[in-house]
Amino acid sequence: MRVKTFFSKIGTWVWRYKYIWTFLLFALILGVLDTNSLMRRYDIRKENDALRAEIQAYKDQFEADKRELRALQNDPEVVEEVARMRLFMKTPDEDVYIIE
């Protein structure tokens, strides 16, 4: 008999607060368990922010490369500078030493 009254009290308590239990179940599903849960939305937003930052870095790199290409096409001194500094080319009357 004690077990029956115990479960009867629990059932009465759950039934009395049925709206709270419904709200808690809804919050659990919405916040954690659903495929469109709040946690998943937060992760997607964080990933989107990282991708936007990466896109901006690529745009900045593109602009820098475009400016350098324009300078290479228009200025022979820049061509010589790039040849000497990056490609280690030299004029016939000089020696180049590379120290690592």
Per-residue 3-state assignment (H helix, E strand, C coil) for the chain: CHHHHHHHHHHHHHHHCHHHHHHHHHHHHHHHHCCCCHHHHHHHHHHHHHHHHHHHHHHHHHHHHHHHHHHHHHCHHHHHHHHHHCCCCCCCCCCCCCCC
The identity of residue 70, as a single letter, is: R
Residues 71-97 pLDDT 10s: 989 988 888 888 877 877 777 777 777
Tell me the pTM. 0.57
Residues 19-54 pLDDT 10s: 998 999 988 888 888 888 888 899 999 999 999 999
From CA 100, how far away is CA 87, in angstroms rounded?
A: 15
Mean pLDDT across 51-63: 98
Q: Would you state the pLDDT for residue 47?
A: 98
Residues 46-56 pLDDT 10s: 999 999 999 99
